[in-house]
Chains A and B, each alone.
Chain A
C-alpha cells in the first residue's frame, strides 16, 4: 500500500517539478515587469547546451549546471539592457521583440550547431520500494523545484533587495520617488528569471535530446502555469503548479502524455472563464 502511495507521490513530484522549474523564471519576469519573455524557451535551451558542453569538457555535472544557470542569467541581463529595457511601457511590444529574438536564436543555432549534439545520459541510480523501481534523479529534480521556491521566498521576503523589489512591483513610480533604483531592480530580476530558465534547462539536459528547438517543449507548461497563477506570482505560481500537476498526473497515468497536456490546456481554458485573474486573486481576497 505504501508503495502505491509513494508511486502516486513520485508521479506528482515529477510533473510538479517540471511545471515549477519551467515556469519560475517566466513568472518572476512577468510578476516584476509585466513582461512575458517569449525567448524563455531559448534561455532554457542555453542552460542545457552550456551544461552538456561543460560536462563533455570534464566538468562535474552539478558544477556545470550551476555555471549554466549563471551564464543564462548574465546573458539575460545583457538582453535586458539591450532590448527589453525599452519596452517596459509597451508590454505587448516586448512580447514581439522577445519573440523576434527567440526566432533569431533558435534558427541561428540550427544553422551553426546543427540539429544533433551528443547528449549526456541521465545520472544512474535508482531505488526500489515494494516491487517498483524509481529513478533517483527525478527526485533530485523535485528537490530542486522545492529549493527554487524556497530560494525565491527567501530572496523576495527576507532580504532588503526583496523588500525594494516588492515595492517596485506594487508601484514602480512611488518606489522610484522613495529612492529605489528601479532600473537596477528590473535588470537583476530579469537576470534571476533567465538564470532560473537556464537552471531548468541545465537540470533537464541529462534527460532529453538536445536540439535547438527544445525550448518549445517547456513553453506551454510555463505559459499555462503563469496564466493560472495570476498577477501576484509570489503567491500564485506554486498553488497553480500543484493544481495543474494533479490534473496532469491523473490524465498522464490513464491516457498518456499528450492527452495529459491537452487536458491541462482544457482545464486552463475553463479556469480563465471563472477566474481570469488567476489563483492568486482568490488567495489575496482570502488574506484580507
Chain B
C-alpha cells in the first residue's frame, strides 16, 4: 500500500520530500497554539477550498476532463448540508448531513457525467456544458426568494442565501474554531494521501492513459468511460465536500458562491498551480487563497481582476502552471548543485542523463 505513495504520477518522493511534508504538517498542527482564534478561523476557511482544487486537479490534470462545474457540486452539497441539517435538527445528525450532502453531490455528478461521457462529449464542450449547468443552478437559486421555496423548514431565500443551519456538532460539542481547523487538516492529509495512492495505482494509470490517448486506452481493453465517470464523480464529490464544509463553517450559503465569477476560481487556482501534480495544486491553491483573501479586504473587484490576470498570464507564459514550473526549477538547481559537489565527472553524467529523459 505505502509503495503507492511514491509513483510515476506524482512529483516529490524520497526522504527529503517527506521530511518537508512532515515539517509543514507539524507546523500546521502547532499553529493554533501561537495564533489568535480569528486567524485560525481564517486558515480553516482557506483549507475548505483545497478539496475542490484537488478534485479539479484529479479530473483535469490526471483525467484530462476540464470541468467548469466545481461550484455546481459545491452548491448542491452546500445547500444540501443546509437543508439536511435544518430538517434533521442539528446535533450529531450534522455529521450525517455532511456525509449525505456529499453523496448527493456525487450522485448528481454520476447522472450529469453519465450523459456527457456516454454521449462522447469531451474537450471544450465538456467545459461549457458543465458551466451551463452551474449557471442555471445559480439563476434558479437566485430567484427562490419567496416563502413558497422551502424544503421542510429550510427556506432557500434567493440571493440573500440560506442560513440557520447548525455547524458540525458531535454531541454537545460544536466543531468550530481550532477544532474545525484540526478536522480540516486531518481531512486534507487523508484526501491528499488517498489521491496520491489513487493516481499511482493501476486505476490511476488507466486514468492517465485515457488522458494521453482515449482511443489507445480503449484498444488496450479498458472501458475508458467507466474510468472517466469514476474520476468525474470523485473530483466532483471533493467539490461537494468543500461545499458542505463551507456551509457548516459560516452557517450560511448564497447563490453567488455558485455562479460567475465563483465558478472561475477553482480553474485559476489549479491552472496557476500546475494541474499535473497534486502537491503543486495543494501548495499553489493555498497561496492564492491567502493572497486573494488579503486583497479582498480592500477591494473584491481588484482581487478578481488579479485572478483574471493570473489566469491569462498562466496560459500565455507558463501553460503547465507557475508553482509546478518554479518547483521543478528549484529541484533542478538543487540536484545540479549536489552533483557539482560530488565532482565534475558525475555532473557531466547527470547532465547527459537529464538530456536524454
Give the interface of A toward B (CB within 8 A).
34, 36, 83, 86-87, 90-93, 95-97, 99-104, 106-108, 110-111, 213, 216, 219-220, 223-224, 226-227, 258, 261-262, 265, 268-270, 272-274, 276
- In the complex, are the beta carbons of B309 and A268 less than 8 A apart? no
* Complex interface: chain B residues within 8 A of A91 (CB): 123-124
A95: B residues at CB distance < 8 A:
66, 124, 127
- A107 and B316 within 8 A (CB): no
Given A93-B319, A99-B311, A100-B312, the answer on whether A107 and B305 have CB atoms closer than 8 Å is yes
Q: Is the CB of A111 within 8 A of B305?
A: yes
CB within 8 Å for A272 and B119 given contacts A99-B267, A100-B312, A107-B261: yes
Within the assembled complex, what's the spacing in Å between the Cα atoms of A258 and B260? 17
**Which of B114, B143, B264 meets A258, CB within 8 Å?**
B143
Residue of B nearest to A261 (CB): B136
Q: Mark B293-322 against chain A: 1 for CB-CB distance below 8 A, else 0.
A: 000000101101101111111111001000
Q: Mind listing 21 A-B residue pairs with CB under 8 Å?
A: A92-B124, A93-B319, A97-B311, A100-B314, A101-B312, A102-B308, A103-B264, A108-B305, A216-B259, A219-B131, A220-B132, A220-B136, A223-B132, A224-B132, A226-B128, A258-B143, A262-B140, A268-B129, A268-B132, A272-B125, A273-B118
Residues of A within 8 A of B259 (CB): 216
B-side contacts of A107, CB under 8 Å: 261, 301-302, 304-305, 308
- Determine the chain B residues whose CB is within 8 A of the CB of A96 once the complex forms: 267, 271, 311, 314-315
A96 to chain B, nearest CB (A): 5
Q: Is B120 an interface residue (CB 8 A)?
A: yes
Complex alpha-carbon distance, A216 and B264, angstroms: 13
Main secondary structure of the interface of B (DSSP, over half): helix
B104 an interface residue at 8 Å Cβ cutoff? no
In Å, the complex CA distance between A36 and B129 comes to 12
Interface residues in B, total, Cβ within 8 A: 46
CB distance from A82 to the nearest CB of B (A): 10
Question: Do the beta carbons of A272 and B121 come within 8 Å of each other?
Answer: yes
Partner of B129, one of A92, A101, A272: A272
Contacts of A99 in B (CB 8 A): 264, 267, 308, 311
Q: Contacts A100-B315, A110-B301, A227-B129 given; 18 further ones with Cβ under 8 A?
A: A36-B127, A83-B316, A86-B316, A91-B124, A95-B124, A97-B312, A99-B264, A99-B267, A100-B268, A103-B264, A103-B307, A106-B304, A216-B260, A219-B131, A226-B128, A268-B129, A273-B115, A276-B119
CA distance A262 to B132 in the complex (A): 10
Smallest CB-CB A-B distances: 4 pairs: A103-B308, A100-B311, A100-B312, A104-B308
Footprint of A on B, CB under 8 Å?
Answer: 66, 112, 114-116, 118-121, 123-125, 127-129, 131-133, 135-136, 139-140, 143, 259-261, 264, 267-268, 271, 299, 301-302, 304-305, 307-316, 319
Interface centre among A34, A258, A268 (most CB of B within 10 A): A258
Distance from A209 Cβ to chain B, minimum over Cβ atoms (Å): 14
CB of B315, distance to nearest CB on chain A (Å): 5
Could you say which of B66, B119, B267, B271 has the most chain A C-beta atoms within 10 Å of its C-beta?
B119
CA distance A107 to B299 in the complex (A): 10
Alpha-carbon gap, A34 to B66, bound state (A): 16
Interchain CB contact (< 8 A) of A104 among B118, B127, B309: B309
Which residues in B have their C-beta under 8 angstroms from that of A223?
A: 128-129, 131-132
Q: Are A261 and B261 in contact (CB under 8 A)?
A: no
Chain B residues within 8 Å of A274, by CB: 119
Q: Which chain A residues border B139 with CB–CB below 8 Å? A: 220, 258, 261
Which of chain A's residues have a CB closer than 8 A to the CB of B123?
91-92
